[in-house]
Structure 1
Amino acid sequence: MCGIFGVIGEGEGTEEIIKRLSKFAEKRGKDSSGILYYNEHYNINKADFSITKLIKKINFKNSKVFLGIGRLITNDNMENQPYSEGEVCVFHNGIIVNDSNIFKNENIKRKSNLDTEIFHALTKKYICNKDIDVDKIKNILFNKCFGTFSIALALPKLGKLILSSNHGSLYYGEKKNLIIFSSEKFHLHSLNCKKIKKLNNKLKILNIPQSDRLPITIKEFKVNRINLVPKNNFLDTDRNLLAQDFPTLVRCTKCLLPHTFPFIKFNEEGVCNYCLNHKKKSKLKPKEELFKILEYYRKKNKEDCIVPFSGGRDSSYALHIIVKELNMKPITFTYDWGMTSDIGRRNISRVCSKLKVENIIVSADIQFKRKNIRKNILAWLKNPHLGMVNLFTAGDKHFYKYIEEVKKQTTIKLNLWGYSPFEVTHFKSGFLGYPPDFDMDRIYSHGVIKQIKYQYLRAKAFVANPSYFNMSIWDTLSGEYYRSFKKKQDYHYIYDYWSWNERLINKTLIKEYDWELADDTNTTWRIGDGTAGFYNYIYYTIAGFTEHDTFRSNQIREGVMSRQEGLKLVEEENRPRYQNIAQYLEVLNLDFKTVIETINNVPKLWHQNPM
């Protein structure tokens, strides 16, 4: 999950091309960076900061080879790319999910936690100092490595550069005397490259200057920073701090919603107003209608739709339908704002590699985003307010900004979404004092009037707790603008036409894609979301329910499951997710004991008399 690029050859304007490519790469990964360049001999520079900042420190004029990476760190906080020892240098975009097994099966000693190292190890074992055999290289890479990879593999001693991708996130083209490659086609188009080709389950071998001056000189720029990937040092002493109480609730006799739910009322039979006002949404639109819509957008030999892809259950299965059932040619889009869980990232890799689908990623400034979350959590802890919990996830809303940019860059109009029809919650804004909109059929509500009312209520909470007036405000408000005010065009929703069947979805993802499950919960919902365990713990501890209660209640109203089955499920699903919570607080540099004890001491809504 990075941006890689390279320029091979000499020509006028090379420096400007490198600068532009580095900006493109930085958009895909800002956490760290690295370069390999040739000027009389090969040099490697690696840094704990962005690629655009790194190249300002390097004199790369007249370089005949320049390779670079803007990295989104998904594993190993210490080791940066490119990975190099001796005569091999590897740049890797993607995530290999079976790297540990390969090291074990190949009997190769591992030296880092970086998945990229596996390409270095396999190259040294099978390729170095031997004739370059294209079929053999393809067999090694594509048959042994599972998960997404787009790599630039430099072999200076042999004078060769191997470019390869198993899912299409790598393009190369020509510009005068230069060969240029990058992670997205738009990057090369913007440079007016010619003969642009996509590598999808293919490889390309290029000649580079040969050098026997090995090992390659490496210079590293280190800075002090918080670990971007959790260490997973789980402690029983922390685990035991989590409240294990079973709330005493009066629930609706038809669904699962309790008396602590915002704006809830029960009639004489004990049925809540959410059930009484519910309008069935489970009647699907005809599939023929969807096929007719798609014919307008379908392209014969080109990608024809953008699929927003979080790596979660619903978007993963939607992608499966789009490729296998609808025969569309998608490009997936992921906005990584710093709170996508490791499982979510690995499942993105699993599904995209299996379906051979390109993944365009936009990476936020993750350290900045996490600082914003931290500030808002610290503000919340001073004066806990359930209506302000959703401020912790405000940073992900720029997704809607960048997806429109991706549509323009790819010239693809169509968006196909995988929103579950059962995710509408009501309570997150309800705790702020915003009444339920019973006609709402999406997880997010849109419209100027609705947002003005909502933001007014939020502003009142800000005034009541001035600590919310911090550097995160603009990020929050601009995200809300793109989510709720910006006009949406060519958006279509798979589950408006396709039945959402939880058992079938889980079976398909696990069996066909080896989809990874979480160790700390039995549910497959929200396991790709690094924030869910924490905010659901808050809701459960104080109000006695979570979004699992609303999800199952929506299913009960639609006749998908019985109330008894729903009760049994939420009893398990509402259990505190210690590992998810611990990882979340670690990357935010928040003390687990302080945070959890503060939440535990908030007066419980479920202690109040419901009658």
Structure 2
Amino acid sequence: MLSETRGKESAGLAIKSNVEREIGVYKDSLPASELIKTKGFNEFWNQYFKNWEKHKSGPNYIQLLGHTRLVTNGFSSNNENNQPVTKSGGVAVHNGIIVNVDKAWTKHKDLTRVYEVDTEFLLDLYMQRLKTEDALSALKNTLPEIEGSVSTGIITDKSDLLLLYTNTGSLYYYSDTSLGIFIFSSERFILNHLLESYGIQKNDGEIDVKWLHPGSVLVLDPNNLNFKLLKFTEGSIDQKVFQVGSQKKFQIKNFSPSNTSTAVIPHVSENQKERLLEFNLEKIRLLKRCTRCVLPETFPFIYFDKDGVCNYCKHYKKQEYLGIEKLNKYADEIRNPKAEPDCLVAFSGGRDSSYSLHYVKNILKLNPIAYTYDWGMVTDLARRNQARICGKLGIEHILVSADIKMKREYIRKNVAAWLKRPSLGTIPLFMAGDKQFFYYAYYLRKINSLRETILCENLLERTNFKSGFCGIEPYFDDEHNFTLTTSGKLKMLLFYGKEFLSNPSYLNSSLYDSAKAFLTYYFIPHSYFNLFDYLPWNEKEIETTLINEYDWELSPDTTTTWRIGDGTASFYNYIYYNVAGFSEFETFRSNQIREGMIDRKLALEKIEEENRPRFESILWYLNTIHLDFDNTINTINKIPKLYS
């Protein structure tokens, strides 16, 4: 139940009993809070706990491996893809993503792929190694085949042992032989909360929860709760420790609902659908643009002086960085001397947050925990890149998952409402669901006793035209290039109120979520440490580092590396460009010109390429929120163009 914050798309439990010599598994595509209320789950539970007394004495034990899932590889509608995963006599729970899973299966022709979930390869290869090797050696020889992030617990039908391994540090455990318990979880807070709720604590009031460090394996003998900690990087393995026993094998029984259907994405004629996307480049080229930057005449509240320079350029203030020396000094102040986590890094999986995580860990030598708020629009590409970074750096990754099904339904309702009365000012409603990010950033820092929250906000990514389309004039003060005043915020509220009254379709079940997002973003104080207040943003260095050092994955439908992990950006930028003749790329490239990073000629070349419609991403977005591609794009195309 406590782990449900990490994923609500499916849940499951494995129960291993050495009385029955069985491993029972029950899982379904339901949140844990719903799963435990089902008749099937309760019958499964009673199968092993109806005679609990026989487990309470002697060497008898019960092992439970539970998991709540955020779907990445493999549809949850096929129950075999859900966790715990069973294969070849093994049962595993796994957090993370194996990014080379397809290549790995191709390499191992001796293994047969049955499911879609990536955990299957890890488990299948481990079980094959276990035929000729002891438990530790089998795991050690499996891991070099894996790329990405892995935090896993494995039990098998061949022995009593439980193996825990993490390459990110996303595992915590508590052992108490006097109580006869050993418990592990993916986050410290989850385990602390569980233990506190049962009044389990040391004499001094502190709970002795241990962290399984990145690259470590823990092997537990459940008969006596003896366990061994090892780091595979430190010398050889003691082959005499925890050998596979010769006891009678366990029988694996699956009590799960027989749901093996696979969700089918409707086949589409790509050529036919892609042709619907407009790219009115020749007309947009005729727009008058600032002679210094690339903002066009359709930009809200823009005007040009006699030399053709826009008011946004005239009021622009170059970034003043605090400097590397101050950055290093601050890092020294917050660094944990015990090399335990000391800061939280906001981690979207985009290029800036990925590079920042690299910089915080490798350059500043801090010990970060990465944090992602997944509201349903974090793409699989972003998740794979997150796995690459965290796996290679050995960084714990806390993922807070919203009720993704519900969030996507909110998005669908707001986009459907918008299509009835399109307005460029109300497009931000599509992204309202991600604003709770700020709440959880504060919350996670507090419960993990971290010294700082680090944002990776590129200060060049200013999108003030979004408020401009709400009728709010730009306000330039002495400290900021652009800021939204209190009166501006009130004007925005009035604008949205008017839009909602004019279009009652907005008055749907998403309204409370959208209102909460607005308050969270605009009215709750945000006090965070931003890396790029100190460090100049360097596009070439960032891209080179990520691609060369982390094999960072690019998107096949665009040449840019910006916002490729954001599932909604390609859609709203298509609308802005199609209707207004510009998108976020114009504001970003214009700020680069003002900072002296690129010249205007290069910026013009880049925006023409970057504004090309991203068909695959737009199709994914509309399929994900269950809106018809043809109807949606045709409606957008009919909106009167500001450049006509």
What TM-score do the two structures reach when normalised by structure 1? 0.91
1:47 aligns with 2:28: yes
* In 2, Cα distance between equivalents of 1:305 and 1:231: 44
Deviation of 1:136 after TM superposition, in Å, equals 4.4
CA spacing shift, 1:118–1:342, aligned 2, 3 Å? same
Deviation of 1:497 after TM superposition, in Å, equals 1.2
Pick from 134, 142, 145 the counterpart of residue 132 of structure 1: 134
Pick from 301, 317, 322 the counterpart of residue 263 of structure 1: 301
Residue equivalent to 1:65: 63
CA contact (8 A) 2:291 2:308 kept: yes
Deviation of 1:451 after TM superposition, in Å, equals 2.8
1:37 aligns with 2:15: yes
Residue equivalent to 1:76: 74
> How many percent identity over aligned positions?
41
CA shift digits 1:274-322 (9 cap, x unpaired): 11111111x3212222222233322111211100000001111111111
Residue equivalent to 1:242: 277
What TM-score do the two structures reach when normalised by structure 2? 0.86
CA contact (8 A) 2:317 2:481 kept: no
* In 2, Cα distance between equivalents of 1:438 and 1:326: 34
1:220 aligns with 2:221: no
Q: Matched residue of 1:66: which SS? A: strand
CA contact (8 A) 1:44 1:217 kept: yes
Deviation of 1:461 after TM superposition, in Å, equals 1.4
1:299 aligns with 2:336: yes
- Give runs of aligned pairs for residues 1-400 of structure 1, distance below 5 A: 23-39=1-17, 40=20, 41-57=22-38, 58-59=41-42, 60=45, 61=49, 62=52, 64-77=62-75, 78=78, 79-107=81-109, 108-127=111-130, 129-141=131-143, 143-175=144-176, 176-190=179-193, 191=195, 192=201, 193-194=207-208, 196-208=210-222, 212-220=249-257, 235-246=270-281, 247=284, 248-281=286-319, 283-301=320-338, 302-400=340-438
Q: Which runs of 4 or more aligned residues in structure 1 lie more than 6 Å from their structure 2 counterparts after TM superposition? A: 223-227, 440-444
* In 1, Cα distance between equivalents of 2:576 and 2:410: 21
CA spacing shift, 1:221–1:439, aligned 2, 3 Å? farther
* In 1, Cα distance between equivalents of 2:25 and 2:306: 74
Matched letter for residue 477 of structure 1: A
Q: Matched residue of 1:194: which SS? A: coil
Residue equivalent to 2:444: 406
CA spacing shift, 1:304–1:381, aligned 2, 3 Å? same
Deviation of 1:24 after TM superposition, in Å, equals 1.9
* In 2, Cα distance between equivalents of 1:448 and 1:29: 37
* In 2, Cα distance between equivalents of 1:605 and 1:224: 47
CA shift digits 1:381-427 (9 cap, x unpaired): 00110001111000000001111110111011301111112101111
CA contact (8 A) 2:122 2:142 kept: no
Deviation of 1:476 after TM superposition, in Å, equals 1.0
* In 2, Cα distance between equivalents of 1:30 and 1:453: 37
Residue equivalent to 2:552: 515
Pick from 454, 471, 478 the counterpart of residue 492 of structure 2: 454
CA spacing shift, 1:452–1:521, aligned 2, 3 Å? same
* In 2, Cα distance between equivalents of 1:66 and 1:145: 26
Bigger radius of gyration:
2
* In 2, Cα distance between equivalents of 1:465 and 1:596: 20
* In 1, Cα distance between equivalents of 2:443 and 2:192: 15
CA contact (8 A) 1:156 1:208 kept: no
* In 2, Cα distance between equivalents of 1:481 and 1:240: 40
Query: Size of the alignment, in residue pairs?
Result: 579
Deviation of 1:478 after TM superposition, in Å, equals 1.0
Residue equivalent to 2:228: none
Deviation of 1:216 after TM superposition, in Å, equals 2.6
Q: Matched residue of 2:175: which SS? A: strand
CA spacing shift, 1:148–1:74, aligned 2, 3 Å? same
Residue equivalent to 1:19: none
CA contact (8 A) 1:423 1:442 kept: no
Q: Matched residue of 1:148: which SS? A: coil
Deviation of 1:492 after TM superposition, in Å, equals 1.1
Gaps of 5+ in 2: 53-60, 196-200, 202-206, 224-246
CA spacing shift, 1:292–1:232, aligned 2, 3 Å? farther
Matched letter for residue 210 of structure 2: I
Residue equivalent to 2:468: 430
Deviation of 1:181 after TM superposition, in Å, equals 0.3
* In 2, Cα distance between equivalents of 1:577 and 1:273: 31
CA contact (8 A) 2:3 2:190 kept: no
CA shift digits 1:350-371 (9 cap, x unpaired): 1111111000110000010000
* In 2, Cα distance between equivalents of 1:172 and 1:443: 48
Matched letter for residue 71 of structure 1: R
Pick from 609, 629, 634 the counterpart of residue 592 of structure 1: 629
CA spacing shift, 1:194–1:233, aligned 2, 3 Å? farther
- Give runs of aligned pairs for residues 457-472 of structure 1, distance below 5 A: 457-472=495-510
Residue equivalent to 2:542: 505
CA spacing shift, 1:441–1:378, aligned 2, 3 Å? farther
Of stretches 150-159 and 233-242 in structure 1, the one that deviates more from structure 2 is 233-242
CA contact (8 A) 2:15 2:65 kept: yes
CA spacing shift, 1:446–1:478, aligned 2, 3 Å? farther
CA spacing shift, 1:557–1:150, aligned 2, 3 Å? same
Matched letter for residue 494 of structure 1: L
Of stretches 129-138 and 253-262 in structure 1, the one that deviates more from structure 2 is 129-138
Pick from 563, 566, 587 the counterpart of residue 529 of structure 1: 566
Matched letter for residue 384 of structure 1: P
CA contact (8 A) 1:90 1:119 kept: no
* In 2, Cα distance between equivalents of 1:293 and 1:340: 31
Q: Matched residue of 2:377: which SS? A: coil
Matched letter for residue 544 of structure 2: K
CA spacing shift, 1:93–1:211, aligned 2, 3 Å? farther
CA contact (8 A) 2:99 2:147 kept: yes
Deviation of 1:88 after TM superposition, in Å, equals 0.8
Deviation of 1:226 after TM superposition, in Å, equals 7.6
* In 1, Cα distance between equivalents of 2:172 and 2:481: 36
Q: Matched residue of 2:256: which SS? A: strand
CA shift digits 1:53-92 (9 cap, x unpaired): 2223334334811111100001211221221134111211
Of stretches 327-336 and 73-82 in structure 1, the one that deviates more from structure 2 is 73-82
CA spacing shift, 1:500–1:231, aligned 2, 3 Å? farther
* In 1, Cα distance between equivalents of 2:622 and 2:269: 12
CA contact (8 A) 1:390 1:428 kept: yes
CA shift digits 1:317-365 (9 cap, x unpaired): 1111111111111001000000011111111111111111000110000
CA spacing shift, 1:198–1:437, aligned 2, 3 Å? farther
